[in-house]
Structure 1
Amino acid sequence: MSEHILDKISKQAQDYYKNTPVIILGSGASAAFNMSGMWQLSQHLMANVIISDLTDHEKQSWGEFCKLLNNGEDLESALHHVSLSAELTNRIVVETWKLLAPEDIKVFERSLNNSSLFPLGKLLKHMFGSTATELNIITPNYDRLAEYACEQAGIHHYSGFSHGFRGYAVKKDYLTCARQVNIWKVHGSLGWFTNASGVITSLGIVDSIPHDLTPLIVTPGIEKYRSTHNEPYKTIIHESDDIMDRAAAYLCVGFGFNDAHIQTKLVNRCANDGASVIIITYKLTDATKDFISSNTTNKYLAIEASSENKSKIYSSLFDHPVEIDGDFWSLEGFINLIM
């Protein structure tokens, strides 16, 4: 029985995959490399954001924010409920960078002696085995793991800026190459900075924030929707929206369907245009389960971890979730379904 189910979902995965899906990387894709998630970030912010020199009003709002976190509110919700000043928001950005950038660099250093560290690179090379000359990745993640994966696989990538130690904003066709992966980072990147004059640049790996520069990453909460009206986010979101609108299939890796910038387009494409979606993650979020159970799409395959070395399958081919032997919820495990 299990072999029969495995054959069916393998064929389903291959049917969706042959349409060259847009890859959506969520926080779960980074968690696989021990990058901090929202909970770890919230703890880091409470421990490291300095407020002693701020106004009484700012101290009060920070106290309200920390109280929400200590009472179990998630970081995004807390930032929606409490209005923080521009200075506090800037300090959150800086501390977010200080937490994540060293973790990002550690992954890069690990990859120098591990040629198989990134399953994403293997997947991209396989996708280019077809007639595809351009692939698209959309991610709200700040880290550069997708870029590292491309480089380890010897694939040219574009993420909005020119290559080099000091990149500047360019169009995606500024270079001509046989194959290219476009990485649309809708919430910014650990390598992006702006100066006091508003000049935006992309730097190579740096282990501290350069003097008088500010990281260009969008914090969760209300500020996310304010900041994304500015460059470079405005252009990147416009481009990613066009990519989403043209896609016939999506492959979501560690994406929890909690980001309005991405999921609205995806849900509507599935509902109105018959696009297919594959979702692989350690644990499906409630928002993801609501999506696949709402009759919004009739072309879905979702896989999460079950008990040890087992996977739980949610498929539009089955009336109920099924459990099978094997790890197919991770990207490395999923690749075994399609190759």
Structure 2
Amino acid sequence: MDLDEIYQEIQEILRKQLALIIGTGSSISVDFAFGMGALESHLKSVIPSVIIGDNQAESEWKLVLDNLNRKIDFENSLNVVKSGFLLESIIVETGKHVAKVNYQNISKISIGEIPIIALFERLKNALSYTNPIIDIITPNYDLIIENALSHCDLDYNDGFYGGVQKKFDWAQSEQLFNRLENNSKTGKIYPKVYPHIRLHKVHGSLNYFVKSDNVYRNDSLSYFENIKDYERFIITPGETKHKRIVENRHFYREMDNAIDKAQTYLFVGYGFNDIDIDKKICQNINQVSRRAIIVTKDLIGNAKSILSENPEIIAISDNYKGGALISYKGKELEHNKPIWQIDEFANEIL
């Protein structure tokens, strides 16, 4: 199969019901400080002084550091955390770090220096009243996707509705995108769904907060370090993450539905190291009716094993020669352009 055939294959696949899964690689393209490595460094520098005097927290944090020194990845290293105080400290400091990096890049973000905008501009043309919804699923805490969508004049629904302090309710929020149209031939009125993106931030967000066991979105509080009576709704890596997801399963129900409805999965800068997302999608990828495309710098996490088990997936990664490596059906093809970068991918192929 040559490049033209692969291009045609990608274009055809992306015409089907689409779900995008966007990982931290997309945010790193704006600033490396959005990456897990930078967050790990931040937590290493601040957590010891935050938890000083709490024996359980100090003991568990030492175990986390021991795991990291043994080259265990960040997520699995945090599995030892049981202390509520340590967990809360990690959540607070994670929020501070992401807020700081997001704020430092606010000028760049606001003028549209976001590579994934090139992809969103192409996908905008795929939305219509007959194909009104594209789902985006992301574990990212930052607000880059929201800014990129807004820059493209793409309306999005993240499950919240209301004024400054938005309440979480997918059914209510979807009502904002329902329209009543008058059929000029029959004279009957019928409902239509206004084209939009559905954004599923499955691990929370910089602008999501918990108060009295309810999840709210309040953009005006995004960059504050501490807000009285509010807790950031951020689900950090580690075993405690799974407990919080189970406790807030209603928050993720629409993500599950989006994964089931999709016929095509496009992974952008995604590392395949998040079992909560991966397990659901991998159950579907091996079905004949479903296809997947991976666009990323490196095939890390479980990506290589998933690709090996599902050779019908098209994977595009960095060949470290200034171009890209395309893996498809057990074969590899070199490309002289860096189409593993999402803006290059969109401009070259879509």
Q: Same fold (TM over 0.5)?
A: yes
CA contact (8 A) 2:314 2:326 kept: yes
Alignment partner of 1:193 is 2:209: yes
Alignment partner of 1:302 is 2:302: no
- For 2:308 and 2:129, how far apart are their aligned partners in 1? 33
Secondary structure of 1:63's counterpart equals: helix
- For 2:52 and 2:143, how far apart are their aligned partners in 1? 33
The one of 323, 329, 332 aligned to 2:334: 323
Task: Provide closer, same or farther for how the CA distance between residues 186 and 251 of structure 1 changes in structure 2, counting only shifts above 3 A.
Answer: same
Secondary structure of 2:160's counterpart equals: coil
Task: Provide closer, same or farther for how the CA distance between residues 115 and 224 of structure 1 changes in structure 2, counting only shifts above 3 A.
Answer: closer
Could you tell me which runs of 5 or more consecutive residues in structure 1 were left unpaired when the two chains were aligned. none
Task: Provide closer, same or farther for how the CA distance between residues 187 and 108 of structure 1 changes in structure 2, counting only shifts above 3 A.
Answer: same
Task: Provide closer, same or farther for how the CA distance between residues 227 and 52 of structure 1 changes in structure 2, counting only shifts above 3 A.
Answer: closer
Q: Which amino acid aligns with 1:69?
A: L
Q: Give the total of aligned pairs.
A: 328
Per-residue CA distance 1:16-49 (angstroms, 9 max, x = gap): 1111421000111111111422222111111112
| Structure-1-length-normalised TM-score | 0.90
Alignment partner of 1:30 is 2:31: no
CA contact (8 A) 1:20 1:127 kept: no
CA contact (8 A) 1:184 1:236 kept: no
Matched residue, 2:243: 226
- For 1:126 and 1:115, how far apart are their aligned partners in 2? 21
Per-residue CA distance 1:47-72 (angstroms, 9 max, x = gap): 11234543323222222222222343
Task: Please report how far the alpha carbon of residue 163 of structure 1 lies from its aligned counterpart in structure 2 after TM superposition.
Answer: 5.4
- For 2:274 and 2:5, how far apart are their aligned partners in 1? 31
Could you tell me which runs of 5 or more consecutive residues in structure 2 were left unpaired when the two chains were aligned. 179-193
Matched residue, 1:214: 231
Matched residue, 2:56: 57
Matched residue, 1:153: 152
Matched residue, 2:190: none
Matched residue, 2:140: 141
Task: Provide closer, same or farther for how the CA distance between residues 144 and 14 of structure 1 changes in structure 2, counting only shifts above 3 A.
Answer: same
Matched residue, 2:187: none
- For 1:5 and 1:163, how far apart are their aligned partners in 2? 51
Range moving further from structure 2, 240-249 or 260-269: 260-269
Query: CA-atom RMSD, angstroms?
Result: 2.1
Per-residue CA distance 1:254-303 (angstroms, 9 max, x = gap): 11221112112222212134310000001111511111112xx3531100
Secondary structure of 2:199's counterpart equals: strand
Task: Provide closer, same or farther for how the CA distance between residues 18 and 338 of structure 1 changes in structure 2, counting only shifts above 3 A.
Answer: farther
Secondary structure of 1:173's counterpart equals: helix
Secondary structure of 2:57's counterpart equals: helix
Task: Please report how far the alpha carbon of residue 337 of structure 1 lies from its aligned counterpart in structure 2 after TM superposition.
Answer: 4.2
- For 2:65 and 2:321, how far apart are their aligned partners in 1? 36
Task: Please report how far the alpha carbon of residue 129 of structure 1 lies from its aligned counterpart in structure 2 after TM superposition.
Answer: 6.1
CA contact (8 A) 2:128 2:195 kept: no
The one of 261, 284, 287 aligned to 2:299: 284
Matched residue, 2:189: none
The one of 35, 38, 47 aligned to 1:40: 38
Matched residue, 1:175: 176
Secondary structure of 1:137's counterpart equals: strand
Task: Please report how far the alpha carbon of residue 109 of structure 1 lies from its aligned counterpart in structure 2 after TM superposition.
Answer: 2.6
Q: Which amino acid aligns with 1:311?
A: A
